[in-house]
Chains A and B, each alone.
Chain A
Amino acid sequence: MDRDRIERVSLRWLRRLVIAGFLLVTLLPFWYMLVLSVRPIERLLLDPGSLLVPAGELTAATYVEVLKATEDGGQGFLTFIRNSGLVALAATALTLVVAIPGAYAVSRLRFFGRRQVHALFLAVYLFPSIVIAIPLFVVFTRAGLRGSLVGLVLVYLSQTLPVSVYMLKNYFETIPVSLEESAAIDGAGRLGVIRRVSLPLAAPSVMAVALYDFMIAWNEFLFALLFLVDRPNRWTVSLGLSLLSDGVEVPKTVLMAGSVILTLPIVVLFFASERLLTEGLTSGAEKG
């Protein structure tokens, strides 16, 4: 056999092996999380190496405990879920309201400073969030916004805005200008054109951006920690999980149930948005 044959055959096998390895390494932590969340802690201590739930161990008590309110002896994750949901939805809605006109302007209209907008976003995005956090911490402390979810929504809005504008702008640019012009000839004003023509055409991309914004806001940790740490009834799921896992009082299996609750919506949304993104891209290609 020559070198080419040897390499081809061995690489073919290596490739299968590596793919299997990647699947194992990426999925194992998720599987482990799921398994631990349905095992009682006493059993886990006896047999920590099991990757399957041994017969008769399956329990949902961990989920009951983690979701129950603190007054009823639970960990209050229902409240956290409500907080996270509210903050993430509000931040997503606000981001879209602000980003859609902004992205349209940057993609379609010539105005003074249009080119600079880009550079500004990029520069701003590369600064560490801890740098921004200090003055916000000061301002929110003074304005009494610390411990309020409104302040957090405002911060998340600013965090997701640059990328949202960028993604929407790219999509608006693929919509033929002639469509907008014909709407304008039919008597639509500028906002009418955006609302009736550009937005419906960009719907898949708007959905994808919305999902992105929601995921960022749902996952965020640092600002939630800085602003909400003293107010347990305002904690988000991320913050609640991290603060409770610092202590030793709450069993790890109960916290694993909490972390399944934190992760599950994101994984579901991710698989939904992956399809959406590809659909959005291909439909754009057909029409453009």
Chain B
Amino acid sequence: MTTTAPEAGRSPTRERPRPGRRPLTLRRRESRAGLALVTPTLLVVVAVIGIPIVWTIVLAFQRVRLATLRKTGLFGELTLDNFDRVLHTPGFAGTLWTTLVYSVGGTAGSILVGLVAALVVRRPFRGRTVVRASMLLPYVAPVVAMTFVWQVMLDPQLGIVNDWGRRFLGWDTPIPFLSQDSTALWTVIAFEAWRYFPFAFLFLLARLQAVPGELEEAARVDGATPTQQFRHILLPQLMPVIALLGVLRFIMTFNKFDDVYLLTGGSAGTEVVSVRVYQFLTARTDIGAAAAQAVVLAVVLIVFVAIYLRFFARRGEP
């Protein structure tokens, strides 16, 4: 439907061409109307997203600080100093590693939890609509409210987790989940899996519902048990979606700022690259270094995604 519809019927306008001027063909008139209608969209995207991306790359090669901003021209002297400074600021490699662990952990966690969720609500049962809707809540609720609730729940003094842990699980001392190095990163990853599993859940549920019932019936007739059916029938059907989700979630998590910043502020070994960019930008007001760090982030991401597509995505293809 989508491919044939635009070809089938064309342009509605049929005014008589003005005399003395060569009439525009229908095709050209359509082309003009199309461009005119899409221009506002393009202008906004290019002005507020396209130009800033290019500009960040330029800024990364310039010496710009917030204090000297008014004196700096658009295309000042180009230099590699920023990259030098970024690469040699202590913690550069650590930040990159943290970002990687956080992204891989968050991606795998959210997809795995989402898969389990999709499998259990796949078949109809009473109250299914309510269950499905409440499973989407963590994803749609405001990130600031969710991180705040988690912070309070995990708080050593007034949090419910530590209270119950000491009462029912026999913990001797409260665990400061978000402020000690050994647990902070894993807690942030757990938050990530909790908040974003609905995204994977939606995609996987849609795919599961499109799997023809005959496939499983045939397998059952042949004597396959439910786990065998999952392993040999459902999983291969889901693999392309899982591969796609892997790329999407990895990119989104890699770029994430809000969640980590709001939960830990980047302390206790959770400083990811985007939080570091923010620190360069605001705490040090070093715009050039912030831009250089952001460019490093984008380049590393592109490399990872390229590797992923090269080695993993191909296997998922049917």
A-to-B contact residues, CB < 8 Å: 3-4, 7-8, 11, 15, 18-19, 22-23, 25-27, 29-30, 32-33, 36, 44-45, 48-49, 51, 97-99, 101-102, 104-114, 117, 120-121, 124, 126-138, 141-142, 154-155, 157-158, 161-162, 165, 173-174, 176-178, 180-181, 183-185, 188-190, 193, 215, 218-219, 221-222, 226, 237-239, 241-242, 245, 252, 255-256, 259, 262-263, 266-267, 270-271, 274, 288
What are the 3 tightest A-B residue pairs by CB atom distance, in nearest-first order? A184-B12, A111-B34, A102-B41
Q: Which of B19-52 contact A (CB under 8 A)?
A: 27, 30-38, 40-42, 44-45, 47-52
* Interface size, chain B (Cβ < 8 Å): 97
* Stretch in B90-98, B177-185, B274-282 with 4+ CB within 8 Å of A: B274-282
Residue of A nearest to B251 (CB): A126
CB <8 Å contact, B255 and A177 = no
CB <8 Å contact, B49 and A158 = yes
- B110 → chain A closest CB, angstroms: 13
> When chains A and B are docked, how far (Å) is the Cα of A158 from the Cα of B48?
6
A117-B42 contact, Cβ under 8 Å, with A138-B287, A142-B69, A190-B13: yes
Residue of A nearest to B137 (CB): A26
Q: Which of B282-311 contact A (CB under 8 A)?
A: 282, 287, 290-291, 294-295, 297-298, 301
A109-B137 contact, Cβ under 8 Å, with A130-B255, A221-B143: no
CB <8 Å contact, A22 and B135 = yes
- A16 → chain B closest CB, angstroms: 9
Binary CB contact string for chain B from 1 to 27 against chain A (1 if under 8 A, 0 otherwise): 110011011011110000000000001
- A165 → chain B closest CB, angstroms: 6
Q: List 21 A-B contacts (CB under 8 A).
A: A7-B227, A8-B225, A15-B120, A29-B138, A29-B149, A48-B157, A101-B41, A109-B34, A113-B35, A134-B52, A134-B290, A137-B287, A138-B59, A142-B70, A176-B5, A184-B13, A221-B144, A238-B142, A239-B144, A263-B145, A270-B136
Q: A130: which B residues are within 8 A, CB to CB?
A: 255, 257, 274, 277-278, 294, 297
> When chains A and B are docked, how far (Å) is the Cα of A108 from the Cα of B309?
32
Q: Is B79 in contact with chain A by the CB < 8 A criterion?
A: no
Q: Is B80 in contact with chain A by the CB < 8 A criterion?
A: no
Q: Is B186 in contact with chain A by the CB < 8 A criterion?
A: no
CB <8 Å contact, A98 and B44 = yes
CB <8 Å contact, A137 and B281 = yes
- B112 → chain A closest CB, angstroms: 13
A4-B157 contact, Cβ under 8 Å, with A26-B135, A26-B138, A129-B257: no
* Stretch in B160-168, B207-215, B235-243 with 4+ CB within 8 Å of A: B160-168
CB <8 Å contact, B45 and A131 = no
Binary CB contact string for chain B from 51 to 93 against chain A (1 if under 8 A, 0 otherwise): 1110110010000101001100000000000000000000000
Residue of B nearest to A99 (CB): B41
> When chains A and B are docked, how far (Å) is the Cα of A111 from the Cα of B31?
4
Chain A binding surface, main DSSP class = helix
Q: Is B218 in contact with chain A by the CB < 8 A criterion?
A: no
Q: B226: which A residues are within 8 A, CB to CB?
A: 4, 7-8, 11
- B217 → chain A closest CB, angstroms: 14
A19-B121 contact, Cβ under 8 Å, with A29-B149, A130-B255: yes
- A103 → chain B closest CB, angstroms: 8
A190-B41 contact, Cβ under 8 Å, with A36-B152, A128-B298: no
Residue of A nearest to B70 (CB): A142
CB <8 Å contact, A219 and B116 = no
Q: Is B187 in contact with chain A by the CB < 8 A criterion?
A: no
CB <8 Å contact, B164 and A49 = yes
Q: B136: which A residues are within 8 A, CB to CB?
A: 270, 274
CB <8 Å contact, B121 and A127 = no
- B129 → chain A closest CB, angstroms: 9
Q: B70: which A residues are within 8 A, CB to CB?
A: 142
Contact of B49 among A25, A36, A132, A183 (CB under 8 A): A132
Q: B167: which A residues are within 8 A, CB to CB?
A: 49
CB <8 Å contact, A27 and B145 = no
> When chains A and B are docked, how far (Å) is the Cα of A242 from the Cα of B287?
24
Q: B277: which A residues are within 8 A, CB to CB?
A: 130, 134
CB <8 Å contact, A241 and B148 = yes
Binary CB contact string for chain B from 110 to 154 against chain A (1 if under 8 A, 0 otherwise): 000000110011000000000101111110111111111111110
- A183 → chain B closest CB, angstroms: 7
